[in-house]
């Protein structure tokens, strides 16, 4: 008992050191517990992947080949370590023949896609920039019709992973998010996604899965990192300082657009079974004695472009890929324009929200179109954000490539719909 009293007396006499020690031990214990939970999740994911690796294949079948485009510079240079610890063991245990190609500089992924040979699946391990480069490089190939049939998996390793909520349920734990995304590739469920073809007057087309963003909110967001020293106030400060440099931040543009087209029914993933011999013989005899009447070729009607002048703070041309499981009537893209009469306070409040910046206010003008042409004034300067990658602002034509690429999606995400 005397020893216990002595301990408490020592703690009371040295309360500052005792408080510091308790804080350090509490933080260390929480950190160690987090590491333990991460290791448990990795182990569970590896055990699930091992079951796929134990499945028997026919003698004439070959292992599935996966080409991984890995950007080691993503997530502040941590992407390579994240991939090796969380995703690579799952792929290897599942019996997948993995070829890892690491990028060394910006834009290399586009060039690598030009040289890519046949693969059963393509896996992008990185962020928005890596994914946008891979999609652009893939669809610039002369044989893109063939390679666009290759299913694509996305392992979110970047600082920005805007497509990830469309394919996987979000998790605050990065290890769980990566392992779940990798397991969804093994399970094989895919969903078609639309692609935007964005073409300037001279440049090669750029392809996007989410959209094009241009305006005052985009410009202010690009300067947020400059005010890192302000901590949680850096976002508000970036928008406030942008209003001090210039106000109002109105953008003028002319938009020409086509009406959306009806969405044809989804094509079956598997070919229907071949009819039996008697059915094929009967069909050929029927066609021989009463050949089908050939329909005259359809005359293509000229495209009817409509034009509208927009005065806006922010313009967004986006796909419906944020909610790919939603049933839609039309193949279309959305043009969203923020009103130009926001006050300075409203501009700072809207820009500082932690919500997805591609979700606009209720006051925004929204047009559902099939294709559009964006014309800017001659003295326009600045930049677009195309899937969070920066491109020089210029007149562009945006075409929709409906259901162009197939991406692996988790079963949990496929069963949910985002409002």
Task: Answer whether residue 387 is part of any domain.
Answer: yes
Residue 416's pLDDT band (cuts 50, 70, 90): low
Of 132, 157, 188, at which residue does a domain stop?
A: 188
| Rounded Cα distance, 184 and 161, in Å | 16
The residue segments making up the domain with residue 382 are 211-264+303-402
Task: Answer whether residue 411 is part of any domain.
Answer: no
| Confidence at residue 270, expressed as pLDDT on a 0 to 100 scale | 59
Quick one: 236 and 144 in the same domain?
no
Quick one: 184 and 226 in the same domain?
no
Cα angle vertex 121, ends 118, 123, to 5°?
A: 115
Nearest Cα neighbor of 409 from 337, 283, 325 is: 325
| Confidence at residue 20, expressed as pLDDT on a 0 to 100 scale | 74
Higher pLDDT, 391 or 27: 391
Looking at the structure of the chain, the number of domains it has is 2
Task: Answer whether residue 240 is part of any domain.
Answer: yes
Distance of CA 76 to the CA centre of its chain: 19
| Confidence at residue 369, expressed as pLDDT on a 0 to 100 scale | 92
Cβ-Cβ contacts under 8 Å for 386 (sequence gap 6 or more): 132, 198, 206, 208, 211, 212, 213
- Residues 273-305 have pLDDT tens digits of 777 777 777 787 777 777 777 766 665 667 788
Q: What does the block give as tokens for 158?
A: 């970047």
| Confidence at residue 266, expressed as pLDDT on a 0 to 100 scale | 65
Task: Answer whether residue 203 is part of any domain.
Answer: no
Of 155, 188, 221, at which residue does a domain stop?
A: 188
Residue 196's pLDDT band (cuts 50, 70, 90): very high
Quick one: 244 and 323 in the same domain?
yes
3-state helix, strand, coil in the chain (%, to 5): 40, 25, 35
| Rounded Cα distance, 388 and 210, in Å | 9
Quick one: 182 and 251 in the same domain?
no
Quick one: 41 and 96 in the same domain?
yes
Task: Answer whether residue 174 is part of any domain.
Answer: yes
Nearest Cα neighbor of 105 from 146, 71, 141 is: 71
Quick one: 182 and 81 in the same domain?
yes
What CATH number should be reported for the domain holding residue 127? 3.40.50.10330
65-70 vs 121-126, strand pairing mode: parallel
- Residues 153-164 have a mean pLDDT of 90
Quick one: 103 and 166 in the same domain?
yes
Most confident of 59-63, 206-210, 272-276: 206-210
Quick one: 332 and 218 in the same domain?
yes
Quick one: 376 and 246 in the same domain?
yes
- Residues 237-242 have a mean pLDDT of 90
Nearest Cα neighbor of 399 from 260, 196, 256 is: 196
**pLDDT surpassing 80 at residue 8:** no
Task: Answer whether residue 129 is part of any domain.
Answer: yes
Contact 381, 393 (CB under 8 A): yes
**pLDDT surpassing 50 at residue 179:** yes
Of 188, 222, 248, at which residue does a domain stop?
A: 188
Residue 419's pLDDT band (cuts 50, 70, 90): very low
Quick one: 234 and 164 in the same domain?
no
Task: Answer whether residue 5 is part of any domain.
Answer: no
Task: Answer whether residue 126 is part of any domain.
Answer: yes
What CATH number should be reported for the domain holding residue 313? 2.60.200.40
- Residues 143-150 have a mean pLDDT of 89
- Residues 299-347 have pLDDT tens digits of 566 778 889 998 899 999 999 998 888 888 888 999 998 888 888 888 8
Q: What does the block give as tokens for 259?
A: 């009406």
Quick one: 135 and 180 in the same domain?
yes
Quick one: 181 and 227 in the same domain?
no
| Confidence at residue 272, expressed as pLDDT on a 0 to 100 scale | 67
């Amino acid at each position: 008992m005397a020893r216990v009293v002595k301990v408490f007396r020592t703690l009371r006499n040295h309360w500052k050191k005792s408080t510091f020690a308790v804080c350090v031990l509490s933080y260390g214990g929480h950190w160690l517990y987090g590491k333990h939970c991460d290791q448990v999740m990795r182990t569970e994911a590896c055990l699930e992947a091992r079951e796929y690796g134990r499945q028997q294949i026919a003698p004439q079948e070959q292992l599935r080949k996966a080409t991984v485009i890995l950007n080691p510079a993503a997530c502040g240079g941590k992407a390579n370590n994240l991939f090796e610890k969380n995703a690579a063991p799952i792929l290897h245990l599942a019996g997948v023949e993995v070829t890892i190609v690491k990028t060394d500089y910006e834009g290399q992924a586009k060039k690598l896609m030009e040289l890519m040979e046949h693969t059963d699946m393509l896996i992008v391990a990185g962020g928005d920039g890596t994914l946008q480069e891979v999609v652009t490089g893939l669809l610039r190939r002369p044989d893109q019709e063939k390679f666009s049939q290759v299913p694509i998996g996305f392992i979110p390793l970047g600082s920005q992973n805007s497509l990830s909520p469309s394919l996987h349920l979000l998790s605050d734990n990065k290890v769980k998010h990566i392992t779940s995304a990798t397991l969804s590739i093994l399970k094989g469920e895919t969903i078609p996604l639309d692609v935007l073809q964005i073409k300037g007057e001279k440049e090669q087309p750029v392809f996007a899965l989410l959209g094009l963003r241009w305006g005052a909110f985009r410009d202010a967001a690009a300067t947020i990192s400059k005010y890192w020293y302000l901590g949680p106030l850096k976002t508000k400060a970036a928008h406030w300082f942008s209003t001090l440099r210039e106000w109002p931040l109105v953008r003028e543009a002319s938009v020409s657009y086509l009406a959306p087209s009806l969405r044809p029914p989804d094509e079956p993933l598997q070919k229907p079974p071949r009819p039996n011999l008697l059915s094929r013989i009967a069909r050929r005899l029927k066609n021989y004695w009463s050949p089908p009447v050939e329909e005259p070729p359809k005359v293509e009607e000229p495209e009817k472009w409509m034009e509208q002048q927009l005065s806006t703070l922010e313009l967004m041309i986006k796909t419906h890929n944020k909610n790919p499981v939603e049933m839609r009537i039309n193949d279309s893209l959305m043009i969203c324009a923020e009103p130009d009469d926001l006050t300075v306070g409203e501009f700072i409040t809207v820009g500082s929200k932690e919500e997805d910046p591609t979700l606009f206010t209720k006051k925004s003008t929204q047009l559902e179109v099939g294709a559009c042409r964006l014309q800017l004034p001659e003295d326009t300067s600045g930049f677009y954000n195309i899937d969070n990658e920066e491109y020089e602002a210029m007149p562009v034509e945006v075409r929709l490539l409906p259901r162009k690429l197939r991406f692996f999606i988790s079963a949990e995400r496929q069963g949910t719909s985002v409002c």
